Amino acid sequence: MAPFKATVVEGVGPDAAVVTDPDTGAKQSQVSRRCDLLPPLAMLQVAAVLHDGASKYGDWNWVHIPTRDHLNHALIHIFAFLAGDASDDHIGNAACRMMMALERQLIYQQSE
């Protein structure tokens, strides 16, 4: 279980607006996000980076790292990739660190 405080995601849950399909009449909750547009291979690669990180540092360790540190590590991976270093999955690591930074920023609504 993630060590986060309880969060309500707007537009998801019992209070979500109901929409009716004009062709079938079927009803369902209105969506405000397009998860089906997420790039699947990239998401799986980030999940692989998270798997390796959890094995090395422990599950959810990243939550305790300040946002600015995640951003710095993302930039290091980006610059290493741009410099031609092929010794690591730099883009996957950078993407993962950016997601960690974004998650922390969304949770705390501030940069650190």
pLDDT > 60? residue 45: yes
pLDDT > 80? residue 65: yes
Nearest in space to 108 (alpha carbons), one of 9, 1, 2, 7: 7
Predicted pLDDT of residue 110? 58
Tell me the CA end-to-end span of the chain in Å, nearest whole number. Answer: 24
pLDDT confidence bin for 109, thresholds 50/70/90? confident
User: pLDDT averaged over the chain?
Assistant: 93
pLDDT > 90? residue 97: yes
Strand-pair partners of 20: 27
- Reduce the DSSP state of residue 19 to 3 states and report it: strand
What is the C-alpha to C-alpha distance for residues 99 and 101, in angstroms, rounded to an integer?
5
